[in-house]
Structure 1
Amino acid sequence: MSTPPDPTFTHGSKAELWIGTRDAPTTLQEVSERANNTGLPLERDKADVTTFKGNFKRYVAGQLDGAMPMEGPFDSWLDEVLFELATSDVSPNFRYRPIGAGAGKPEYLGKFLVTKYEISSEASGAATYSGEMQIDGEVTRAIQA
């Protein structure tokens, strides 16, 4: 077995997020400068197949699911995009690069539905938005060329 390469730690501010719009779901627009929090939380269903006389539970792996968070300072252009997606049934594409762009770095690609969208304003703070992008179908991991 080979030794793993040295880790390449990167600050979260290098992340990139690209999304499609209602009118152009496969044409990706970078929204990195309009967001300050996202991620790719995946969760697997499991079916309990434990039988009598066993001391430990047994499971069968099921399907993967996840909803990507997205939040940041309020932006009129992104508000229009997210509001249109939240009020339609379009599943646009996304590209998420957790450590930014560059050869050899990972990226995750898939489709999503906006299932939650919230705008918030505080007297002592900035206007913000937050939402959830429900993953719709398969997510693929690729290495950037």
Structure 2
Amino acid sequence: MPTGILVLTNCLIELGGTTGLASKASKLEMPIESDELDVTVFGGVWKRRTGGLLDGKVNAGFFNDYTGGDLDEKMWNWVIGRVPIPFAVQPDAGAVGPSNPRWTGFVFPKGYSAIAADVGGVNKFDISWATSGAIARATS
């Protein structure tokens, strides 16, 4: 396999100080983007752009678990709490380093699907929670 290609099999996902959430997850994404601002002036024929505010999200897919104190109860409490909670994600749950960075910050738990399946299907749901404030990236 070419250098730098990583097959994700052991991600780290922490939400609200709860570790071990990756054992209930099958998807993890963390898109980060900048607002695109048009700064074109009169007389130009090409648009000019610059970056504005930064934004991010934590997107994850989970298999629901109703065991007391487990995933459903935590999601419920985070959503009805209506305040940002801390998050941490890594491509691998191992030691933080240049080839295994750790991103941390806060996300706003906007919602989740308490029940999500077709008849005979797996009870699985996705979240897409926006970050609140700065995201830090650590490599040591």
Instruction: Give the TM-score category using the shorter length.
Output: 0.7 to 0.9
TM-score, length basis structure 2: 0.85
Once residues 107 and 29 of structure 2 are traced to their aligned partners in structure 1, the CA distance between those partners, rounded to angstroms, is 13
Specify the code of the residue in structure 2 equivalent to 1:114: P
Q: Which runs of 5+ in 1 are unaligned?
A: 1-5, 21-26
Displaced runs of 4 or more, over 6 A:
none
Once residues 40 and 57 of structure 2 are traced to their aligned partners in structure 1, the CA distance between those partners, rounded to angstroms, is 29
Aligned residues: percent identity?
24
Counterparts in 2 of 1:45 and 1:143: CA distance versus 1, 3 Å: same
2:23 matched to 1:37? no
The Cα RMSD (Å) is 1.7
Corresponding residue number in structure 1 for 2:106: 111
Specify the code of the residue in structure 2 equivalent to 1:143: T
Q: Which runs of 5+ in 2 are unaligned?
A: none
Counterparts in 2 of 1:29 and 1:14: CA distance versus 1, 3 Å: closer
Q: 1:87 aligns with which of 69, 77, 80?
A: 80
Once residues 52 and 103 of structure 1 are traced to their aligned partners in structure 2, the CA distance between those partners, rounded to angstroms, is 49
Q: 1:101 aligns with which of 82, 91, 94?
A: 94
